[in-house]
């Protein structure tokens, strides 16, 4: 199985070197490409020191979907690839088998079009960030098909662009990554694949560290963009269900768990959840 790997970067910071060291130690061989949006902090030099090909694009040209598609097409011109893996610059691998475990399913099940792995909280993650990772990335693997929307609703099309692999044939069959959406290109592709008969696999044994301690302002901005995405791509909600129901369940579970560990955490969580709600609603109106 021929595998490619792409990491979009922008001022990836000091942790990036550690990621590249871990990447070099992975047991799965891959054709690697960094697509960089005019970093100014030494990201390019770091990547080149590890012998990686770097493709530079104007910072203003970055688009979550279009940039990934551009990078993929660049690799496909040079190598015959069966699987393409996407990482974000802020992940760290759990072990040397992380990539191998992520793509293993493609050799076992020809109906799987997308595989995404388990995300564990970084050192220093807040209790809220830890809960989010545990909620979205449980310890049990899961195979989902289009029929599972009756059980999981919108969660059926959940995926993550931070640690995911795509069967190239499946990705091409649904038109690749979209170029006209603000973000959530992973959910867009997952939904298209499911509707076309492909399956989505959550590979719990493939693990990376990845989490964020977002402020209320950061959550607001993120959810404005998510709201815009759901408004623009209304077919996803119409097909799989709305986000609000799952969101309410998540908030109630989170507050209950935070109260057990540190009741004061609930105060900040409520502000951030309010920011998410109003940001999402505002995005839906735009």
- Mapping DSSP onto H, E and C, the string for the chain reads CCEEEEEEECCCCCHHHHHHHHHHCCCCCCEEEEEECCCCCCHHHHHHHCCCEEEECCHHHCCHHHHHHHHHHHHHCCCCCCEEEEECCCCEECCCCHHHHHHHHHHHCCCEEEEEEEEECCCCCCHHHHHHHHHHCCCCCEEECHHHHHHHHHHHHCCCCCEEEEEHHHHHHCCCCCCCCCCCHHHHHHHHHHHCCCEEEEEEEEEEECCCCCCHHHHHHHHHHHHHHHHHCHHHHHHHCCCHHHHHHHHHHHHHHHHHHCCCHHHHHHHHHHHHHHHHHHHHHC
Residue 186's pLDDT band, with cuts at 50, 70 and 90, is very high
Q: What is the mean pLDDT of residues 183-195?
A: 95
pLDDT-based confidence at 243, cuts 50/70/90? Answer: low
Check residue 249 and give its pLDDT: 74
Backbone CA torsion sign across 41, 93, 71, 133: negative
Q: Where are the domains of the chain?
A: 3-209, 216-285
pLDDT at 244: 56
pLDDT on residue 261:
81
- Mean local confidence (pLDDT), 130-134: 91
pLDDT of residue 85: 98
Q: How does pLDDT run across 74-98, given as a tens digit for each residue?
A: 999 999 999 999 999 999 999 999 9
Q: Which segment of 24-33, 152-161, 231-240, 266-275 scores lowest on mean pLDDT?
A: 266-275
| pLDDT single digits (tens) 149-173 | 989 999 999 999 999 999 999 999 9
Q: What is the pLDDT of residues 44-65, one digit of tens each?
A: 999 999 999 999 999 999 999 9
Report the percent of the chain where pLDDT is more than 70.
Answer: 98
pLDDT category of residue 205 using cuts at 50, 70 and 90? very high
Least confident of 182-191, 209-218, 242-251: 242-251
Contact 36, 12 (CB under 8 A): no
Phi first, then psi: give them for residue 163, nearest 5 degrees: -160, 80
- The arrangement of secondary structure in 3-209, i.e. its CATH architecture, is Alpha-Beta Complex (3.90)
pLDDT at 7 over 80: yes
């Amino acid at each position: 199985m021929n595998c490619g790997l792409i990491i979009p970067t922008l001022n990836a910071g000091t942790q990036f070197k550690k990621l590249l060291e871990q990447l070099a130690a992975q047991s799965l061989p891959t054709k690697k490409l960094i697509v960089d949006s005019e970093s100014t902090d030494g990201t390019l030099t770091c990547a080149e020191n590890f012998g990686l090909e770097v493709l530079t694009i104007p910072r203003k040209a970055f688009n979550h979907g279009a940039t990934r598609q551009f990078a993929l097409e660049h690799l496909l011109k040079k190598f015959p690839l069966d699987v393409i893996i996407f990482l974000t610059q802020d992940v760290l691998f759990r072990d040397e088998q992380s990539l191998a475990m992520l793509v293993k399913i493609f050799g076992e099940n020809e109906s799987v079009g997308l595989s995404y792995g388990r995300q564990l909280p970084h050192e220093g993650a807040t209790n809220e960030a830890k809960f989010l990772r545990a909620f979205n990335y449980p310890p049990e693997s899961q195979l989902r098909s289009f029929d599972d929307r009756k059980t999981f609703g919108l969660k059926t099309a959940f995926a993550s662009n931070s640690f995911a692999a795509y069967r190239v044939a499946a990705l091409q069959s649904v038109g690749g990554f979209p170029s006209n959406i603000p973000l959530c290109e992973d959910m867009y592709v997952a939904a298209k694949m499911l509707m076309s008969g492909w399956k989505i696999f959550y590979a719990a044994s493939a693990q990376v560290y990845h989490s964020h301690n977002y402020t209320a302002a950061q959550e607001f901005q993120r959810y404005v963009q998510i709201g815009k995405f759901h408004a623009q791509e209304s077919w996803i909600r119409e097909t799989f269900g709305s986000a609000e129901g799952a969101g309410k369940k998540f908030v109630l579970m989170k507050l209950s768990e935070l109260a057990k560990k540190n009741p004061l955490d609930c105060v900040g969580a409520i502000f951030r959840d309010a920011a998410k709600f109003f940001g999402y609603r505002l995005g839906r109106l735009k």
